[in-house]
Amino acid sequence: MVYGQIFHQHSPDDSFIKVNVGGFKQRMEHTVLKRFPQTRLGRLLCCSSKEAILELCDDFSPSEIEYFFDRSPLFFCYILNFYLTGKIYLVEGLCVVSFFQEIEYWGIKECHLDLCCSNKLHELMESNELQLHSSGSSTEELSALDQNTDMFEGSWCADLRRNVWNRLENPGYSAAAKAMAIASLSVVIISIVAMCINSMPDFHQVDGNEKEIENPVLTFFEHLCVLFFSAEFLLRLAVAPSARKFLCSPLNIIDLMSVMPFYVTIFYDMTAESESTDLVNVGKVVQILRLMRVFRILKLARHSAGLRSLGATLRHSSQEVGLLVLFLSVGISMFSALIYFVEKESQESELQTVPIGWWWATISMTTVGYGDTFPVTPAGKLIGTLCIICGLLIVALPVTNIFNKFTKFYQQQHKTGSCTHSCIYGKF
């Protein structure tokens, strides 16, 4: 029999097709399948060759005109219900990823999901995304740890460098590693405190020529901290598995830039016989770069579930943050223009320009309220009241979703954190 004759022969079964899904057999009417021509079964009716049929199913029997699919027979019951009702429902106990894979295979769109299951699906998707991210973060941490450890193989003093590197980079590696991390953090805090105290006029000193000089005690602590940072940086560079990768790290670049100006200033002090403008400019650069030590606190993110959760929340809340900025921008622009038009005639009001109105609307909508700029007319006070109320509503709407994400990330970090530390201890 010529294959093409199968599609043109007349029999009582012409209006049906036989479907075999994982051993579950079912006859389906052409009229039912034609209601959804874009689905996999609907496209079978348009096939005119065996090659085209085998692109849509796993096997085909020309003699019995039976189509074989190597898929879950339990889920196919929901597919049958979809063809009869036009709605697809969530499968209890089935992973949301598997659910999407199944409906994608059968060519069913998410828009066919019934309304009663739509909200539940989005909740499951969000929860699954958080779990996948947390698991992925833990996997990435372990993979990076394994990769750095493997890079020591075949290098000079591999075992010694590996042990020192793990103690410098992983505070949970041993008690000595934790002690070194605490010592490093303490020096960072001492350096920041000394920098802050050095800016206070009460601690300034002058020499015999009434020239302002640095406090010797604070200078001693500053030099001690810089020496510690220098020794730590050089030690980490010496034992790093890859010097190029180490020097390209943003945190290590900050460490280097916070130390180098100190030595540049010492070099100029030794070579310059008198004060010069260049030396003064270098000193200003040093003071600016000293502030970069504050960013060393970001290293705590590797050991703090809260900071990791905060970073993950900000990365996964870009839409909410974007909406918050958009809403605030619209509100600030609108209320700044309104307050300008009602306050510009008053001599007592400071809201005489739209840019000043922007500042007032910003601190009002964010409920900061410095009180440096405020309306004085009755109409301006009414607009100010509306501005504050709208600011409360605008800020509250997206912040709720951001807070919920942070809570879920924080809980998931606690669950995966113990597993990560167990793997670290287990490997070493």
**Is the CATH code 1.10.287.70 the one for domain 312-427?**
yes
Stretch 174-185: mean pLDDT:
81
pLDDT at residue 426 above 80?
Answer: no
Quickly list DSSP for 36-68: STTSHHHHHTT--SHHHHHTTSSEEETTTTEEE
Strand spans (E) along 151-303: 205-206, 212-213
What's the mean pLDDT in 279-303? 57
> Residue 63 pLDDT more than 90?
no
pLDDT band at residue 334, thresholds of 50, 70 and 90?
A: very high
Q: Say what the pLDDT of residue 361 is.
A: 92
pLDDT at 26 over 50: yes
Does 328 have pLDDT greater than 80? Answer: yes
For the CA atoms of 63, 64, 68, 73, the dihedral, rounded to the nearest 10 degrees, stands at: -170
- The average pLDDT across 279-286 equals 55
Tell me, what amino acid is at 291? L
pLDDT at 303: 52
| Tens digit of each residue's pLDDT (9 = 90 or more) over 200-217 | 877 777 766 666 677 788
Residue 12: the pLDDT is 46
pLDDT above 50: residue 2: no
Can you give the residue ranges of every domain in the chain? 3-121, 158-303, 312-427
pLDDT of residue 126: 61
Please state the rounded mean pLDDT for residues 363-385: 88
| Rounded Cα gap, residues 48 and 53, in angstroms | 8
Q: For the packed helices 216-239 and 250-271, what is the interaxial angle rounded to 10 degrees?
A: 130
pLDDT band, very low/low/confident/very high, at 416 (cuts 50, 70, 90): low
pLDDT score, position 313: 73
Note the pLDDT of residue 423.
42
Spatial separation of the C-alpha atoms in residues 237 and 240, rounded to whole Å = 5
Contacts with 286 (C-beta within 8 Å, 6 or more apart), sequence order: 261, 262, 264, 265
Fold of 3-121: Potassium Channel Kv1.1; Chain A (3.30.710)
Given this model, what pLDDT does residue 335 score? Answer: 92
Indicate the average pLDDT of the chain: 75
Q: What is the pLDDT, as a whole number, of residue 215?
A: 77
Residue with the bigger pLDDT between 405 and 327: it is 327
- Which of 46-55, 137-146, 301-310, 352-361 is modeled with the greatest confidence? 352-361
Instruction: Express each pLDDT in 198-257 by its tens digit.
Output: 778 777 777 666 666 777 888 888 788 888 888 888 888 888 877 788 888 777 777 777
Of these ranges, 88-92, 382-386, 396-400, the one predicted with the greatest mean pLDDT is 382-386
12 vs 175, higher pLDDT: 175
DSSP reduced 3-state for 418: helix
Residues 119-166 have pLDDT tens digits of 676 666 666 554 544 444 444 444 444 555 556 665 677 778 878 877
Q: Contact 55/5 with Cβ under 8 angstroms?
A: no
Cα 428 to Cα 426: distance, rounded to the nearest angstrom: 6
- Give per-residue pLDDT as tens, 297-317: 665 555 566 666 677 777 777
386 pLDDT more than 90 = yes
Output the pLDDT for position 388.
92
Supply the pLDDT for residue 8: 39
Residue 38 binned pLDDT confidence (cut-offs 50, 70, 90):
confident
Residue ranges of E strands in 289-353: none
The class (CATH top level) of 158-303 is mainly alpha
Q: How far apart are CA 201 and CA 269, in angstroms?
A: 24
d(CA 254, CA 319): 30
pLDDT of residue 308: 66
**What confidence category does residue 427 fall into, taking pLDDT thresholds of 50, 70 and 90?**
very low
What is the mean predicted confidence (pLDDT) over 4-28?
Answer: 68
Q: Which two tokens stand for residue 342?
A: 């009602």
CA distances from residue 149 to 112, 159, 170, 325, 428 in whole angstroms, order as listed: 50, 10, 12, 43, 10
Q: What share of the chain in percent tops pLDDT 70?
A: 71
Q: Which helix (H) or strand (E) holds 29?
A: strand 24-29
Task: Look at 378 and 205; give whichever has higher pLDDT.
Answer: 378
DSSP state at residue 428: -
pLDDT of residue 83: 86
